[in-house]
Chains A and B, each alone.
Chain A
Protein backbone atom coordinates (compact mmCIF):
# COMPACT_ATOMS: atom_id res chain seq x y z
CA UNK A 1 0.00 0.00 0.00
CA UNK A 2 1.29 3.35 -0.88
CA UNK A 3 2.16 5.31 2.19
CA UNK A 4 2.12 9.02 2.08
CA UNK A 5 2.32 11.82 4.59
CA UNK A 6 -1.39 12.49 4.02
CA UNK A 7 -2.34 8.91 4.82
CA UNK A 8 -0.20 8.86 7.95
CA UNK A 9 -1.79 12.02 9.29
CA UNK A 10 -5.27 10.56 8.68
CA UNK A 11 -4.47 7.37 10.59
CA UNK A 12 -2.83 9.27 13.43
CA UNK A 13 -5.89 11.51 13.71
CA UNK A 14 -8.29 8.59 13.90
CA UNK A 15 -6.11 6.85 16.47
CA UNK A 16 -5.97 9.96 18.63
CA UNK A 17 -9.75 10.29 18.46
CA UNK A 18 -10.18 6.66 19.50
CA UNK A 19 -7.84 7.02 22.48
CA UNK A 20 -9.53 10.22 23.54
CA UNK A 21 -12.98 8.65 23.46
CA UNK A 22 -11.98 5.61 25.54
CA UNK A 23 -12.44 7.13 29.03
CA UNK A 24 -15.78 8.57 28.02
CA UNK A 25 -16.98 5.18 26.79
CA UNK A 26 -15.71 3.54 29.98
CA UNK A 27 -17.64 6.00 32.11
CA UNK A 28 -20.90 5.29 30.32
CA UNK A 29 -20.50 1.55 29.87
CA UNK A 30 -20.99 0.22 33.45
CA UNK A 31 -24.42 1.83 33.67
CA UNK A 32 -25.80 -0.60 31.13
CA UNK A 33 -26.23 -4.29 31.88
CA UNK A 34 -25.09 -4.13 35.50
CA UNK A 35 -27.83 -6.36 36.88
CA UNK A 36 -30.52 -5.18 39.31
CA UNK A 37 -30.06 -1.68 40.66
CA UNK A 38 -30.79 -0.29 44.08
CA UNK A 39 -33.80 1.95 44.45
CA UNK A 40 -34.97 4.72 46.71
CA UNK A 41 -38.64 5.30 47.38
CA UNK A 42 -41.01 7.16 49.65
CA UNK A 43 -42.55 4.26 51.47
CA UNK A 44 -46.09 2.95 51.23
CA UNK A 45 -47.87 5.03 53.90
CA UNK A 46 -46.45 8.46 53.11
CA UNK A 47 -48.79 11.46 53.31
CA UNK A 48 -48.21 13.88 50.45
CA UNK A 49 -49.27 17.41 49.70
CA UNK A 50 -48.16 20.27 47.52
CA UNK A 51 -47.96 22.63 50.47
CA UNK A 52 -48.65 21.49 54.01
CA UNK A 53 -50.54 24.01 56.11
CA UNK A 54 -52.00 24.21 59.58
CA UNK A 55 -55.03 25.95 61.02
CA UNK A 56 -55.06 26.55 64.76
CA UNK A 57 -58.41 27.25 66.38
CA UNK A 58 -57.26 29.54 69.17
CA UNK A 59 -60.78 29.80 70.56
CA UNK A 60 -60.40 26.32 71.96
CA UNK A 61 -57.31 27.17 73.99
CA UNK A 62 -58.30 29.29 76.97
CA UNK A 63 -55.39 28.83 79.33
CA UNK A 64 -51.71 27.94 79.34
CA UNK A 65 -52.61 24.46 80.55
CA UNK A 66 -54.63 23.87 77.38
CA UNK A 67 -51.49 24.34 75.28
CA UNK A 68 -49.24 22.14 77.35
CA UNK A 69 -50.19 18.77 75.85
CA UNK A 70 -49.17 19.91 72.35
CA UNK A 71 -45.92 21.46 73.47
CA UNK A 72 -45.06 18.46 75.55
CA UNK A 73 -45.95 15.96 72.84
CA UNK A 74 -43.71 17.77 70.35
CA UNK A 75 -40.77 18.39 72.64
CA UNK A 76 -40.82 14.86 74.05
CA UNK A 77 -41.01 13.27 70.63
CA UNK A 78 -38.18 15.29 69.14
CA UNK A 79 -35.85 15.29 72.14
CA UNK A 80 -36.04 19.05 72.47
CA UNK A 81 -33.93 19.98 75.50
CA UNK A 82 -35.29 22.10 78.32
CA UNK A 83 -33.13 24.81 79.87
CA UNK A 84 -34.16 27.17 82.66
CA UNK A 85 -31.73 29.81 81.39
CA UNK A 86 -33.72 31.94 78.96
CA UNK A 87 -30.76 32.53 76.63
CA UNK A 88 -30.28 28.81 76.09
CA UNK A 89 -33.92 28.02 75.49
CA UNK A 90 -34.77 25.63 72.64
CA UNK A 91 -38.34 25.72 71.38
CA UNK A 92 -40.10 24.13 68.45
CA UNK A 93 -43.61 25.08 69.50
CA UNK A 94 -44.43 27.42 72.32
CA UNK A 95 -46.93 29.81 73.83
CA UNK A 96 -46.93 33.54 73.32
CA UNK A 97 -49.05 36.62 73.95
CA UNK A 98 -51.38 38.08 71.31
CA UNK A 99 -49.29 41.24 70.94
CA UNK A 100 -46.16 39.21 70.26
CA UNK A 101 -47.85 36.81 67.92
CA UNK A 102 -49.71 39.39 65.87
CA UNK A 103 -48.01 42.76 66.36
CA UNK A 104 -49.50 44.21 63.17
CA UNK A 105 -53.04 43.02 63.88
CA UNK A 106 -53.36 44.52 67.36
CA UNK A 107 -55.70 47.45 67.44
CA UNK A 108 -55.82 49.76 70.38
CA UNK A 109 -59.15 48.36 71.53
CA UNK A 110 -59.68 44.66 70.93
CA UNK A 111 -61.66 41.87 72.43
CA UNK A 112 -60.26 41.35 75.90
CA UNK A 113 -60.93 37.68 75.74
CA UNK A 114 -58.95 37.30 72.52
CA UNK A 115 -56.19 39.53 73.76
CA UNK A 116 -55.53 37.47 76.87
CA UNK A 117 -55.84 34.07 75.29
CA UNK A 118 -52.56 32.13 75.00
CA UNK A 119 -51.39 31.64 71.40
CA UNK A 120 -49.57 28.60 70.13
CA UNK A 121 -46.75 29.53 67.75
CA UNK A 122 -44.33 27.45 65.73
CA UNK A 123 -42.40 27.57 62.47
CA UNK A 124 -44.76 28.90 59.80
CA UNK A 125 -43.18 26.89 56.97
CA UNK A 126 -43.49 30.01 54.83
CA UNK A 127 -44.06 29.81 51.13
CA UNK A 128 -41.41 32.50 50.77
CA UNK A 129 -39.06 31.60 53.64
CA UNK A 130 -36.47 34.27 54.49
CA UNK A 131 -34.42 31.77 56.53
CA UNK A 132 -33.79 29.69 53.41
CA UNK A 133 -32.48 32.71 51.55
CA UNK A 134 -30.19 33.60 54.43
CA UNK A 135 -28.62 30.17 54.87
CA UNK A 136 -25.13 30.16 53.34
CA UNK A 137 -24.80 26.36 53.26
CA UNK A 138 -28.32 25.44 52.17
CA UNK A 139 -28.66 23.57 55.45
CA UNK A 140 -32.18 24.89 55.64
CA UNK A 141 -34.25 24.49 52.53
CA UNK A 142 -37.84 24.37 51.37
CA UNK A 143 -38.70 20.87 50.31
CA UNK A 144 -40.00 20.91 46.74
CA UNK A 145 -42.29 17.96 47.22
CA UNK A 146 -44.47 19.31 50.04
CA UNK A 147 -43.28 22.79 51.00
CA UNK A 148 -41.91 21.87 54.42
CA UNK A 149 -39.05 24.13 55.49
CA UNK A 150 -36.49 21.60 56.59
CA UNK A 151 -33.18 21.61 58.43
CA UNK A 152 -30.26 19.45 57.41
CA UNK A 153 -28.41 19.28 60.73
CA UNK A 154 -25.40 17.74 59.03
CA UNK A 155 -24.84 20.88 57.00
CA UNK A 156 -25.62 23.52 59.60
CA UNK A 157 -22.52 25.50 60.52
CA UNK A 158 -24.27 27.43 63.29
CA UNK A 159 -23.90 30.89 61.75
CA UNK A 160 -27.42 31.85 62.94
CA UNK A 161 -28.18 33.94 59.86
CA UNK A 162 -31.49 32.06 59.65
CA UNK A 163 -32.35 33.13 63.18
CA UNK A 164 -31.75 36.74 62.26
CA UNK A 165 -33.79 36.31 59.10
CA UNK A 166 -36.80 34.59 60.64
CA UNK A 167 -39.37 37.20 61.71
CA UNK A 168 -41.17 34.71 63.96
CA UNK A 169 -38.34 33.64 66.26
CA UNK A 170 -39.04 30.07 65.25
CA UNK A 171 -35.43 29.00 65.36
CA UNK A 172 -33.32 28.13 68.36
CA UNK A 173 -29.58 27.75 68.61
CA UNK A 174 -27.91 25.10 70.72
CA UNK A 175 -25.60 27.23 72.81
CA UNK A 176 -24.98 24.37 75.21
CA UNK A 177 -24.75 20.62 74.75
CA UNK A 178 -28.42 19.64 74.24
CA UNK A 179 -27.95 16.41 76.18
CA UNK A 180 -27.63 18.49 79.35
CA UNK A 181 -31.21 19.66 78.92
CA UNK A 182 -32.64 16.19 78.41
CA UNK A 183 -33.68 13.68 81.01
CA UNK A 184 -31.75 10.50 80.19
CA UNK A 185 -34.72 8.18 80.70
CA UNK A 186 -37.13 10.29 78.70
CA UNK A 187 -35.06 10.45 75.53
CA UNK A 188 -37.02 9.20 72.55
CA UNK A 189 -34.68 6.55 71.19
CA UNK A 190 -36.33 6.61 67.78
CA UNK A 191 -35.46 10.22 67.05
CA UNK A 192 -31.98 11.76 66.84
CA UNK A 193 -30.77 14.44 69.19
CA UNK A 194 -28.82 17.49 68.08
CA UNK A 195 -25.32 18.59 68.83
CA UNK A 196 -24.02 21.83 70.25
CA UNK A 197 -23.68 24.55 67.63
CA UNK A 198 -26.63 23.86 65.32
CA UNK A 199 -29.93 25.63 64.85
CA UNK A 200 -33.14 23.67 65.17
CA UNK A 201 -36.85 24.20 64.68
CA UNK A 202 -40.18 22.55 63.94
CA UNK A 203 -40.19 20.23 60.93
CA UNK A 204 -43.97 19.71 60.61
CA UNK A 205 -43.11 16.19 61.83
CA UNK A 206 -41.80 15.00 58.46
CA UNK A 207 -40.79 11.72 60.05
CA UNK A 208 -44.42 11.13 61.05
CA UNK A 209 -45.84 12.26 57.69
CA UNK A 210 -43.53 9.72 56.03
CA UNK A 211 -45.27 7.00 58.02
CA UNK A 212 -48.77 8.25 57.40
CA UNK A 213 -49.28 9.96 60.75
CA UNK A 214 -50.34 13.53 61.47
CA UNK A 215 -47.92 15.83 63.28
CA UNK A 216 -47.64 15.27 67.02
CA UNK A 217 -49.23 18.60 67.98
CA UNK A 218 -52.19 17.98 65.67
CA UNK A 219 -52.72 14.57 67.23
CA UNK A 220 -52.47 15.99 70.76
CA UNK A 221 -54.82 18.90 70.06
CA UNK A 222 -57.98 16.86 69.96
CA UNK A 223 -59.19 18.48 66.75
CA UNK A 224 -58.32 22.09 67.58
CA UNK A 225 -55.48 22.03 65.05
CA UNK A 226 -56.22 21.03 61.49
CA UNK A 227 -53.47 19.97 59.13
CA UNK A 228 -53.61 19.40 55.39
CA UNK A 229 -52.76 20.39 51.85
CA UNK A 230 -53.20 24.10 51.19
CA UNK A 231 -53.23 23.58 47.44
CA UNK A 232 -55.99 20.98 47.47
CA UNK A 233 -59.41 22.70 47.49
CA UNK A 234 -60.99 19.56 48.95
CA UNK A 235 -58.62 19.25 51.90
CA UNK A 236 -59.78 19.67 55.47
CA UNK A 237 -57.56 22.71 55.87
CA UNK A 238 -59.19 24.47 52.93
CA UNK A 239 -62.61 23.49 54.24
CA UNK A 240 -61.83 25.11 57.60
CA UNK A 241 -60.34 28.19 55.93
CA UNK A 242 -63.49 28.58 53.82
CA UNK A 243 -65.74 28.49 56.86
CA UNK A 244 -63.75 30.59 59.32
CA UNK A 245 -62.08 33.97 59.27
CA UNK A 246 -58.37 33.45 59.88
CA UNK A 247 -55.30 35.60 60.36
CA UNK A 248 -51.64 34.86 59.90
CA UNK A 249 -48.56 36.17 61.70
CA UNK A 250 -46.88 39.29 60.28
CA UNK A 251 -48.52 38.84 56.92
CA UNK A 252 -47.31 42.24 55.75
CA UNK A 253 -43.74 40.94 55.51
CA UNK A 254 -44.64 38.84 52.49
CA UNK A 255 -43.26 35.55 53.78
CA UNK A 256 -46.61 33.84 53.15
CA UNK A 257 -46.81 31.84 56.37
CA UNK A 258 -48.68 28.53 56.20
CA UNK A 259 -49.96 28.50 59.77
CA UNK A 260 -53.39 30.10 60.03
CA UNK A 261 -55.16 31.20 63.21
CA UNK A 262 -58.87 31.29 63.84
CA UNK A 263 -59.24 34.08 66.38
Chain B
Protein backbone atom coordinates (compact mmCIF):
# COMPACT_ATOMS: atom_id res chain seq x y z
CA UNK B 1 0.00 0.00 0.00
CA UNK B 2 2.47 2.61 -1.13
CA UNK B 3 -0.06 4.46 -3.29
CA UNK B 4 -1.70 6.28 -0.42
CA UNK B 5 -0.26 9.67 -1.31
CA UNK B 6 -1.31 9.37 -4.93
CA UNK B 7 -4.83 8.41 -3.95
CA UNK B 8 -5.11 11.33 -1.57
CA UNK B 9 -3.64 13.68 -4.13
CA UNK B 10 -6.07 12.43 -6.77
CA UNK B 11 -8.99 12.86 -4.41
CA UNK B 12 -7.89 16.37 -3.57
CA UNK B 13 -7.63 17.32 -7.23
CA UNK B 14 -11.02 15.81 -7.89
CA UNK B 15 -12.63 17.68 -4.99
CA UNK B 16 -11.00 20.91 -6.05
CA UNK B 17 -12.32 20.57 -9.57
CA UNK B 18 -15.73 19.45 -8.38
CA UNK B 19 -16.10 22.32 -5.93
CA UNK B 20 -14.52 24.98 -8.12
CA UNK B 21 -17.82 26.37 -9.50
CA UNK B 22 -19.23 26.68 -6.00
CA UNK B 23 -16.04 28.21 -4.66
CA UNK B 24 -15.96 30.60 -7.61
CA UNK B 25 -19.44 31.82 -6.75
CA UNK B 26 -18.59 32.17 -3.04
CA UNK B 27 -15.41 34.10 -3.77
CA UNK B 28 -16.83 36.43 -6.41
CA UNK B 29 -20.14 36.79 -4.58
CA UNK B 30 -22.09 36.00 -7.75
CA UNK B 31 -25.84 35.74 -7.47
CA UNK B 32 -28.36 33.92 -9.61
CA UNK B 33 -29.50 35.87 -12.65
CA UNK B 34 -32.33 38.18 -11.57
CA UNK B 35 -35.89 37.25 -12.48
CA UNK B 36 -36.75 38.84 -15.80
CA UNK B 37 -39.21 41.69 -15.62
CA UNK B 38 -41.68 41.87 -18.45
CA UNK B 39 -42.94 45.19 -19.70
CA UNK B 40 -46.64 45.60 -20.30
CA UNK B 41 -47.80 47.90 -23.05
CA UNK B 42 -50.38 50.57 -22.25
CA UNK B 43 -53.00 48.48 -23.99
CA UNK B 44 -52.14 45.40 -21.94
CA UNK B 45 -52.24 47.45 -18.73
CA UNK B 46 -55.62 48.89 -19.61
CA UNK B 47 -57.03 45.42 -20.24
CA UNK B 48 -56.07 44.44 -16.65
CA UNK B 49 -56.36 40.74 -17.34
CA UNK B 50 -55.16 38.58 -20.20
CA UNK B 51 -57.41 35.91 -21.70
CA UNK B 52 -56.85 33.89 -18.53
CA UNK B 53 -55.57 34.91 -15.05
CA UNK B 54 -51.98 36.14 -15.01
CA UNK B 55 -50.70 33.23 -12.94
CA UNK B 56 -52.18 30.78 -15.40
CA UNK B 57 -50.79 32.66 -18.38
CA UNK B 58 -47.34 32.81 -16.83
CA UNK B 59 -47.06 29.08 -16.39
CA UNK B 60 -49.45 27.64 -18.97
CA UNK B 61 -49.46 30.00 -21.96
CA UNK B 62 -47.69 27.43 -24.11
CA UNK B 63 -50.35 24.82 -23.43
CA UNK B 64 -53.05 27.41 -24.07
CA UNK B 65 -51.46 28.39 -27.39
CA UNK B 66 -51.07 24.77 -28.36
CA UNK B 67 -54.76 24.17 -27.67
CA UNK B 68 -55.67 27.29 -29.64
CA UNK B 69 -53.58 26.15 -32.56
CA UNK B 70 -55.26 22.76 -32.60
CA UNK B 71 -58.74 24.23 -32.38
CA UNK B 72 -58.17 26.83 -35.08
CA UNK B 73 -56.23 24.77 -37.60
CA UNK B 74 -57.79 21.38 -37.21
CA UNK B 75 -61.32 22.01 -35.91
CA UNK B 76 -62.02 25.36 -37.51
CA UNK B 77 -63.05 26.88 -34.18
CA UNK B 78 -61.74 30.40 -33.96
CA UNK B 79 -63.39 31.94 -30.91
CA UNK B 80 -62.33 31.32 -27.34
CA UNK B 81 -64.61 32.16 -24.43
CA UNK B 82 -62.82 32.35 -21.09
CA UNK B 83 -64.19 31.55 -17.65
CA UNK B 84 -65.54 35.09 -17.34
CA UNK B 85 -67.52 34.78 -20.53
CA UNK B 86 -65.32 37.09 -22.58
CA UNK B 87 -64.72 35.98 -26.17
CA UNK B 88 -61.44 36.30 -28.03
CA UNK B 89 -60.30 35.47 -31.55
CA UNK B 90 -57.71 32.71 -31.17
CA UNK B 91 -54.81 34.27 -33.01
CA UNK B 92 -51.25 34.70 -31.85
CA UNK B 93 -50.55 37.62 -34.13
CA UNK B 94 -53.92 39.33 -34.11
CA UNK B 95 -54.94 38.82 -30.50
CA UNK B 96 -51.89 38.13 -28.32
CA UNK B 97 -49.48 40.39 -30.13
CA UNK B 98 -52.12 43.05 -30.52
CA UNK B 99 -51.83 43.83 -26.79
CA UNK B 100 -48.32 42.53 -26.27
CA UNK B 101 -46.89 44.34 -29.26
CA UNK B 102 -43.52 44.63 -27.53
CA UNK B 103 -42.10 41.20 -28.24
CA UNK B 104 -38.54 42.15 -27.25
CA UNK B 105 -39.57 43.39 -23.81
CA UNK B 106 -42.32 40.88 -23.18
CA UNK B 107 -41.86 37.50 -24.82
CA UNK B 108 -38.12 37.51 -25.34
CA UNK B 109 -37.16 38.51 -21.82
CA UNK B 110 -38.56 35.38 -20.22
CA UNK B 111 -37.72 33.15 -23.14
CA UNK B 112 -34.09 34.24 -23.05
CA UNK B 113 -33.96 33.80 -19.27
CA UNK B 114 -35.38 30.29 -19.57
CA UNK B 115 -33.25 29.64 -22.66
CA UNK B 116 -36.17 28.53 -24.76
CA UNK B 117 -36.32 29.38 -28.44
CA UNK B 118 -39.88 29.03 -29.69
CA UNK B 119 -40.08 29.38 -33.46
CA UNK B 120 -43.55 30.96 -33.48
CA UNK B 121 -42.23 34.11 -35.10
CA UNK B 122 -40.64 32.39 -38.03
CA UNK B 123 -44.11 32.53 -39.52
CA UNK B 124 -46.38 34.49 -37.20
CA UNK B 125 -45.95 38.20 -37.38
CA UNK B 126 -44.95 39.84 -34.13
CA UNK B 127 -46.37 43.28 -34.81
CA UNK B 128 -49.69 43.02 -36.61
CA UNK B 129 -50.19 46.76 -36.27
CA UNK B 130 -46.83 47.44 -37.88
CA UNK B 131 -46.20 50.07 -35.19
CA UNK B 132 -42.75 49.26 -33.97
CA UNK B 133 -41.19 48.94 -37.41
Contacts and interface: CB of A to CB of B under 8 A. Distances in A.
Given A35-B83, A190-B94, A143 B76 contact: yes
A114 to B, nearest CB: 37
A143 B71 CA distance: 12
7 closest residue pairs by CB, A with B: A39-B81, A40-B77, A195-B122, A192-B123, A43-B79, A36-B83, A41-B79
Contact of A38 (B81, B125, B129, B130): B81
Contact of A189 (B75, B123, B127): B127
Interface of B: 52, 69, 71, 73-85, 87, 89-90, 93-94, 119, 122-125, 127-130
Contacts of A154: 69, 73
Contacts of A87: none
A38 B82 contact: yes
B76 A210 contact: yes
Contacts of A187: 125
Given A145-B76, A195-B123, A40 B71 contact: yes
Interface residues of A, number: 27
Given A37-B83, A43-B78, A145-B75, 12 more contacts: A36-B83, A38-B83, A42-B78, A150-B73, A152-B73, A153-B123, A189-B128, A189-B130, A192-B123, A193-B124, A193-B125, A195-B122
A38 B79 CA distance: 11
A128 to B, nearest CB: 20
A41 B77 contact: yes
Contacts of A150: 73-74
Nearest to B130: A189
Contacts of B125: 187, 189-190, 192-193
22 contacts: A36-B83, A38-B52, A38-B80, A38-B83, A39-B80, A39-B81, A40-B80, A42-B76, A42-B78, A43-B79, A141-B74, A145-B76, A150-B73, A154-B69, A189-B127, A189-B129, A189-B130, A190-B93, A192-B124, A193-B124, A193-B125, A206-B76
Interface centre among A43, A145, A153, A189 (most CB of B within 10 A): A189
B74 A152 contact: yes
Nearest to A177: B122
Contacts of A153: 123
Nearest to B89: A43
